[in-house]
Amino acid sequence: MLSRKSKYALKALGYLAKHHGDRPVLMSTIAREKNIPLAFLENIFHELKKAGFLISHRGRFGGYTLAEAPHQIKVSAIIRIVNGPIAMLPCVSLNFYATCNDCCEATCGLRGIFQDARDALLKVFENRTLIDIIDSEVE
């Protein structure tokens, strides 16, 4: 299941993607528009800025903008920054690999199916960008 933190990060970045090229957007505006607790969003934006996905602007027209065009930022990269591994088990993670304490990888029956699940998720997340998660307009 997608963590609340990842969901909020993606919702906020989708909002910034929709407003890409406009003036910087205040974090409080994003929090209000997307129903995200401001304190939670502050922590998320701190991580995303540190990872190079966001630029903060100071001053009268300050706020946040994306560091790259929305079509260049992959959903998988955001999930990994905010949530960690995409894999459901540490022994099948590509970027956060760790052995499981309670089983032998060579004989584990779970490993194969969870590798397949990881690969299926990665196929979607690696081929989707912030453009794909922009909210649609209400008619």
Give the SS3 label for residue 8.
helix
Burial level of 136, CB count in 10 A (0-12/13-18/19+)?
exposed
pLDDT tens profile 103-117: 777 787 888 888 899
In a structure prediction context, what are the per-residue pLDDT tens digits for the chain, which is 139 residues long? 788 999 999 999 999 999 998 899 999 999 999 999 999 999 999 999 999 999 999 888 789 999 999 999 999 999 999 998 888 888 888 878 887 788 777 787 888 888 899 899 999 999 999 999 998 776 6
